[in-house]
């Protein structure tokens, strides 16, 4: 799981690409769960939380830009 400090160090483009890859992974994990082939069920939770953290960072950055 990525630490929030690691995510804060990334640029906006890097965050967007990381978000895209996590969403693809989340999609694959949902398919694995539906077919009962999921090896690590805890990974679903980790991916979901990391996606939320990235979206929160993006929102904070965009609101900071609009205020400036």
Enumerate domains of the chain plus CATH numbers.
Answer: 4-67 (1.10.287.310)
pLDDT in tens, 18-41: 999 999 999 999 999 999 999 999
Contact 4, 53 (CB under 8 A): yes
Report residue 68's pLDDT band, with 50, 70 and 90 as the boundaries: confident
Quick one: CA dihedral 29, 52, 5, 11, positive or negative? Answer: positive
Q: How confident is the model at residue 1 (pLDDT cuts 50, 70, 90)?
A: low
Helices 12-34 + 42-67 axis angle, to 10: 150
């Amino acid at each position: 799981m990525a630490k929030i400090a690691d995510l804060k160090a990334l640029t906006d483009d890097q965050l967007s690409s990381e978000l895209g890859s996590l969403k693809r992974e989340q999609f694959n994990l949902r398919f694995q769960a539906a077919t009962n082939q999921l090896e690590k069920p805890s990974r679903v939770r980790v991916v979901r939380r990391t996606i939320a953290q990235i979206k929160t960072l993006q929102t904070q950055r965009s609101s900071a830009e609009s205020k400036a």
